[in-house]
């Protein structure tokens, strides 16, 4: 240690803690950054994250040199770089948040402005203006307060801009995305503000005599650990960066590292050796535990996959039975009628009788054509083969779909009301006919469950059948809600009803008028249109199906509209 | 005159088979749903019941069970007459004492008429045999 102006640094506890804090944070940051980058090399967010933690780790290294070096030259060199690296950490945090939260890099204009802000630092850093002098004899040192204030001010402004970016983006996203934004912004802001406090805050407090030393500075590094914890949470819960990681694996890694770093805090040789032994034992136990858990998890996953396959197989058989029934029905009418017409005795009939039989054939042939269309739709949905997406008015599409099912509504004595809350037309990019079919399937499904309610109503068990359709704007999305007061859906079925071949427990096994794939087709079509579909329901009360689709607006195509500067 | 109760929700099937059966001097009575089937069967006491499996809101197997549980209807032969083929359905039909399981698309109306005639003839023969043995 060169200087005594960090007088208390000469105390072993403070020194050990300084090393502990610096090495721990740098190692954890770099390990996490490398892990994320290796697992997700193509992701721009992963690259930016690695750059961020690398520059931050570099700052930590130079800061530690300033604290603990015995060389005046090294202290001066390292100290002069701290300001530049400090600002780079903030710039990279900004870029990372922009990509992770807003799904696009900073615009050229923003980058130019940031570059211009960085320019004075680049010019001043290699000179003596930032750290004018360091007296080796008295260990008196001075920083250029204008320089220090400038780069801390940039850091503060960028931290505020990041918070603003997160705030405005938050209200434009759906629930799941909002949770992710919360984690990232809280993590980044805690990290940046604690970094600001560590770097600038302690300097100001010492300068004005509120503190007598810089011992609080290393604590400011721990904000990065909060940020890393948020990143780990995002990976474990939401598979951020498209990485699959168990919580247990992350915890084991953290525990092993922590048990290793506690070696820095040991005061005697014996304690250090004991600590080393514990660290090695922890590492071995952790590896074995992770392996054992992985094997158990793989076994469980295989068992679940096996059960799933059996279920799919059963459902597939049921589907084949159903489709063959659907195809056989018109065939049996055709075959039966032809055999009657060809029979010598039975073919003697009057005009009215022959007309009736031939009309039966006609109806069944139309139905057969419809069944083949249904099967083709399923194939199209499976292969994702859509022609082209055009801007269409969603409100008009909803009305068209309702007109198609209106005769069925009347036939089954179910009332239908439509409410469109927006005055302006709501546009979406869609393949209109396909999306309309999906809507028809949803209305048809609501009608099926409500028609049963109508029968229950006639039997005095339930209220009259009603279906309400509403369309409104929610942020960047148009949301269609189809509410029925039918028999509702059991909680255990909700997660499955959009799957192929699934039939809810309270649905009668009747497929006379369809293949039973209506909801599956609807869900796949909505997803192909970058939308979401979900249901909320109470058994015996009714169900509401929601479809959310991104709104198409011409203006939104210009990224400059959303620029920070 | 042989009367047949046809439990079916497809009007085209009913029209076709009503025409064919009546042309052959039989009577065909349509019914939809469990309540309608039981009522019509009790009133008309048909010789044979043709039962579809996939109905509007009911499953034919449930109606079959109701028929076989009813003391006044349990002896009426029931032919499951459907386009739905599965091992499970056949097993369940057999378990509930259906006389036969026929796939609609595999028979013509004339063939169906012959089957009904054969079942009625068998039934009458068994009745005659049992009367004879009791005497």
Residues 513 to 532 of A: which have CB under 8 A from any B CB?
Answer: none
Complete edge-to-edge strand list for the sheet that includes strand A542-550:
A415-420, A466-474, A477-484, A542-550, A532-538
Of A317, A335, A360, the CB nearest to B15: A360
Compute the mean pLDDT over every residue in chain A, rounded to the nearest whole number: 79
H or E segment at B118? helix B109-134
Higher pLDDT, A369 or A174: A369
Of B84, B105, B108, the CB nearest to A331: B105
The pLDDT tens digits of the residues spanning A458-495 come to: 455 444 678 888 888 888 889 999 988 877 887 777 77
Phi, psi of B74, rounded to the nearest 5 degrees: -65, -20
Is residue A493 helix, strand or coil? helix
Which segment, A438-447, A513-522, B101-110, is predicted with the most confidence on average?
B101-110
The answer to whether A549 touches A430, Cβ cutoff 8 Å, is yes
**pLDDT for res A562:** 37
Average pLDDT over residues A250-267: 73
Cα distance between residue B123 and residue B130, in whole Å:
11
Please say whether the dihedral angle defined by the alpha carbons of residues A220, A224, A225 and A227, taken in this order, is positive or negative: positive
Cα distance between residue A446 and residue A469, in whole Å:
10
Cα distance between residue A388 and residue B76, in whole Å:
60
Q: Which residues of B touch A335 (CB under 8 A)?
A: 105, 108
Kindly compute the dihedral angle of the four CA atoms of residues A202, A206, A210, A212, in this order, to the nearest 10 degrees.
110
Of A419, A377, A380, A374, the C-alpha closest to A398 is: A419
Tell me the pLDDT band of A258, cut-offs 50, 70 and 90.
Answer: confident
Residues 153 to 192 of A: which have CB under 8 A from any B CB?
Answer: none
**pLDDT for res A102:** 86
Average pLDDT over residues A359-384: 79
Q: Do A339 and B9 touch (CB under 8 A)?
A: no
Q: Do A336 and B109 touch (CB under 8 A)?
A: yes
Average pLDDT over residues A518-529: 87
Q: Do B83 and A329 touch (CB under 8 A)?
A: yes
Residue of B17, B33, B35, B54 to mutate, testing the A interface (most A Cβ within 10 Å of its Cβ): B54
Lowest mean pLDDT among A288-302, A429-443, A500-514: A500-514
Which DSSP category does B70 fall into? Answer: S
Tell me the pLDDT band of A138, cut-offs 50, 70 and 90.
Answer: low
Cα distance between residue A315 and residue A331, in whole Å:
24
Which segment, A282-296, A384-398, B32-46, is predicted with the most confidence on average?
B32-46
Bridge partner residues of A472 (DSSP) = A479
Which DSSP category does A72 fall into? Answer: H
Q: Quote the minimal CA–CA distance from A512 to chain B in Å.
A: 7
Q: Is B100 on the interface with A (CB under 8 A)?
A: no
Residue of B105, B106, B113 to mutate, testing the A interface (most A Cβ within 10 Å of its Cβ): B105
Of A325, A339, A349, the CB nearest to B83: A325
Q: Quote the minimal CA–CA distance from A321 to chain B in Å.
A: 6
How far from chain centre, in Å, is Cα A397? 29
Q: Do A346 and B109 touch (CB under 8 A)?
A: yes
CB pairs under 8 A between A and B: 89
Cβ contacts of residue A167 below 8 Å, gap of 6+? A185
Q: Do B16 and A335 touch (CB under 8 A)?
A: no
Of A92, A85, A80, the C-alpha closest to A60 is: A85
Q: Do A339 and B10 touch (CB under 8 A)?
A: no
**pLDDT for res A22:** 86
**pLDDT for res A565:** 32
**pLDDT for res A421:** 63
The answer to whether B64 touches B75, Cβ cutoff 8 Å, is no
Q: Is A509 on the interface with B (CB under 8 A)?
A: yes
Residue with tokens 């549980």: B69
Cβ contacts of residue A138 below 8 Å, gap of 6+? none
Burial tier of A455 (Cβ tally within 10 Å: 0-12, 13-18, 19+) = middle
Residue A371, pLDDT > 60, answer yes
Bridge partner residues of A469 (DSSP) = A418, A482
Cα distance between residue A433 and residue A366, in whole Å:
20
Of all residues in chain B, the one with the smallest CA distance to A507 is B57
Lowest mean pLDDT among A125-139, A486-500, B31-45: A125-139
Cα distance between residue A514 and residue A523, in whole Å:
17
Q: Is B26 on the interface with A (CB under 8 A)?
A: no
Tell me the pLDDT band of A130, cut-offs 50, 70 and 90.
Answer: low
Q: Do B56 and A328 touch (CB under 8 A)?
A: no
Of all residues in chain A, the one with the smallest CA distance to B83 is A325
Q: Do B19 and A317 touch (CB under 8 A)?
A: no
Please say whether the dihedral angle defined by the alpha carbons of residues A473, A478, A484 and A489, taken in this order, is positive or negative: negative
Residue of A327, A332, A371, A457 to mutate, testing the B interface (most B Cβ within 10 Å of its Cβ): A332
Tell me the pLDDT band of B40, cut-offs 50, 70 and 90.
Answer: very high
Q: Is A285 on the interface with B (CB under 8 A)?
A: no
Kindly compute the dihedral angle of the four CA atoms of residues A392, A393, A399, A400, in this order, to the nearest 10 degrees.
-20
Cα distance between residue A521 and residue A527, in whole Å:
10
Cα distance between residue A265 and residue A268, in whole Å:
9
Cα distance between residue A265 and residue A275, in whole Å:
10
Average pLDDT over residues A535-548: 87
Burial tier of B90 (Cβ tally within 10 Å: 0-12, 13-18, 19+) = middle
Which DSSP category does B59 fall into? Answer: B
The pLDDT tens digits of the residues spanning B92-125 come to: 999 999 999 999 999 999 999 999 999 999 988 8
**pLDDT for res B44:** 92
Q: Quote the minimal CA–CA distance from B110 to chain A in Å.
A: 8
Q: Which residues of B touch A368 (CB under 8 A)?
A: none
The answer to whether A235 touches A241, Cβ cutoff 8 Å, is yes
Q: Is B14 on the interface with A (CB under 8 A)?
A: no
First to last CA, chain B: 27
Q: Quote the minimal CA–CA distance from B104 to chain A in Å.
A: 6
Between strands B3-7 and A542-550, the pairing is unpaired
Residue A533, pLDDT > 50, answer yes
Tell me the pLDDT band of A51, cut-offs 50, 70 and 90.
Answer: very high
Q: Is A508 on the interface with B (CB under 8 A)?
A: yes
**pLDDT for res A132:** 64
Q: Which residues of B touch A329 (CB under 8 A)?
A: 10, 83, 104-105
Average pLDDT over residues A504-511: 44
Average pLDDT over residues A127-137: 65
Phi, psi of A131, rounded to the nearest 5 degrees: -125, 85
Q: What is the ipTM, given to two decimal places?
A: 0.88
Of B15, B55, B86, the CB nearest to A321: B86
Q: Do B110 and A356 touch (CB under 8 A)?
A: no
**pLDDT for res A186:** 92
Q: Which residues of B touch A331 (CB under 8 A)?
A: 105
Q: Which residues of B touch A328 (CB under 8 A)?
A: 83, 103-105
Tell me the pLDDT band of A556, cut-offs 50, 70 and 90.
Answer: very low
Q: Is A357 on the interface with B (CB under 8 A)?
A: yes
**pLDDT for res A4:** 47
The pLDDT tens digits of the residues spanning A272-286 come to: 777 777 777 777 878
For A320-373, the DSSP string reads: HHHHHHHHHHHHHHHHHHHHHHHSTTTT---HHHHHHHHHHHHHHHHHHHHHHH
For B33-55, the DSSP string reads: SHHHHHHHHHHH--SEEEE-SB-
CA distances from A197 to A160, A217, A333 (A): 14, 8, 83
Burial tier of A472 (Cβ tally within 10 Å: 0-12, 13-18, 19+) = middle
Of A345, A363, A511, the CB nearest to B54: A511
Tell me the pLDDT band of A564, cut-offs 50, 70 and 90.
Answer: very low
**pLDDT for res A458:** 47
Kindly compute the dihedral angle of the four CA atoms of residues B87, B88, B92, B94, in this order, to the nearest 10 degrees.
10
Q: Do B54 and A509 touch (CB under 8 A)?
A: yes
Q: Is B19 on the interface with A (CB under 8 A)?
A: yes
Of B57, B82, B110, the CB nearest to A510: B57
Between strands A542-550 and B100-103, the pairing is unpaired
**pLDDT for res A133:** 65
Q: Do A332 and B17 touch (CB under 8 A)?
A: no
Q: Which residues of A touch B11 (CB under 8 A)?
A: 360
């Amino acid at each position: 240690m060169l200087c005594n102006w960090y007088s208390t640094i000469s105390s072993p506890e403070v020194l050990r803690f300084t090393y502990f804090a610096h090495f721990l944070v740098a190692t954890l940051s770099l390990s996490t950054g490398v892990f994320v980058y290796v697992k997700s090399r193509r992701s721009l967010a992963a690259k930016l994250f690695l750059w961020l933690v690398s520059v931050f780790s570099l700052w930590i290294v130079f800061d530690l040199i300033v604290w603990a070096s015995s060389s005046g030259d090294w202290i001066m060199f390292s100290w002069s770089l701290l300001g530049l690296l400090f600002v780079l950490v903030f710039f990279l945090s900004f870029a990372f948040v922009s990509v992770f939260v807003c799904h696009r890099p900073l615009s050229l204009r923003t980058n130019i402005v940031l570059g211009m802000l960085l320019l004075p630092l680049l010019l001043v850093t290699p000179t003596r203006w930032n750290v004018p002098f360091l007296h080796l004899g008295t260990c008196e040192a001075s920083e250029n307060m204008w320089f220090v204030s400038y780069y801390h001010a940039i850091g503060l402004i960028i931290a505020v801009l990041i918070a603003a970016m997160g705030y405005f983006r938050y209200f434009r996203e759906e629930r799941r995305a909002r949770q992710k934004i919360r984690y990232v912004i809280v993590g980044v802001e805690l990290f940046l503000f604690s970094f600001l406090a560590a770097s600038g805050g302690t300097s100001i407090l010492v300068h004005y005599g509120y503190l007598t030393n810089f011992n609080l500075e290393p604590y400011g590094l721990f904000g990065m650990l909060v940020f890393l914890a948020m990143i780990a949470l995002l990976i474990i819960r939401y598979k951020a960066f498209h990485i699959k990681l168990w919580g247990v694996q992350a915890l084991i890694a953290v525990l092993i590292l922590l048990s290793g770093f506690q070696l820095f805090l040991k005061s005697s040789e014996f304690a250090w050796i004991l600590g080393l032994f514990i660290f090695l034992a922890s590492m071995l136990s952790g590896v074995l535990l992770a392996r054992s858990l992985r094997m158990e998890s793989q076994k469980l996953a295989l068992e679940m996959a096996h059960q799933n396959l059996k279920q799919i197989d059963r459902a597939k058989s049921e589907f084949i039975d159903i489709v063959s029934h659907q195809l056989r029905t018109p065939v049996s009418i055709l075959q039966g009628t032809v055999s009657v017409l060809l029979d010598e005795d039975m073919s003697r009939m009057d005009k009215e009788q022959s007309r009736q039989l031939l009309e039966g054939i006609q109806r069944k042939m139309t139905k057969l054509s419809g069944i083949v269309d249904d099967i083709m739709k399923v194939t199209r949905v499976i292969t994702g083969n859509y022609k082209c997406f055009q801007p269409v008015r969603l409100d008009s599409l909803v009305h068209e779909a309702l007109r198609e099912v209106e005769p069925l509504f009347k036939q089954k004595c179910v009332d239908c009301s439509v409410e469109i809350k927006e005055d302006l037309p709501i546009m979406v990019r869609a393949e209109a006919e396909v999306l309309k079919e999906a809507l028809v399937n949803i209305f048809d499904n609501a009608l099926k469950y409500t028609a049963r309610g109508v029968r229950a109503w006639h039997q005095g068990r339930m209220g009259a059948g009603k279906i309400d359709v509403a369309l409104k704007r929610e942020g960047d999305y148009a949301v269609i809600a189809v509410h029925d007061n039918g028999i509702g859906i059991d909680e255990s079925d909700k997660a499955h009803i959009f799957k192929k071949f699934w039939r809810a427990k309270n649905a009668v096994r009747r497929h006379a008028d369809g293949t039973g794939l209506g909801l599956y087709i609807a869900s796949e079509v909505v997803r192909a249109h970058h939308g979401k579909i979900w249901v909320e329901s109470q058994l015996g009360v009714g169900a509401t199906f929601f479809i959310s689709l991104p709104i198409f607006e011409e203006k939104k195509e210009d990224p400059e509209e959303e620029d920070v500067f | 005159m042989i009367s047949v109760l046809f439990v079916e929700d497809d009007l085209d099937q009913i029209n076709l088979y009503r025409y064919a059966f009546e042309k052959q001097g039989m009577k065909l009575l349509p019914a939809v749903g469990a309540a309608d089937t039981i009522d019509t069967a009790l009133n008309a006491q048909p010789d044979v019941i043709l039962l579809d499996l996939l109905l509007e809101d009911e499953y034919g197997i449930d109606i079959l069970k109701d028929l076989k549980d009813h003391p006044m209807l349990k002896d009426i032969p029931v032919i499951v007459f459907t386009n739905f083929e599965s091992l499970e359905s056949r097993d369940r039909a057999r378990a509930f004492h259906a006389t036969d399981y026929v796939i609609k698309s595999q028979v013509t109306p004339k063939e169906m008429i012959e089957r009904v005639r054969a079942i009625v003839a068998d039934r009458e023969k068994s009745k005659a045999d049992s009367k004879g043995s009791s005497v």
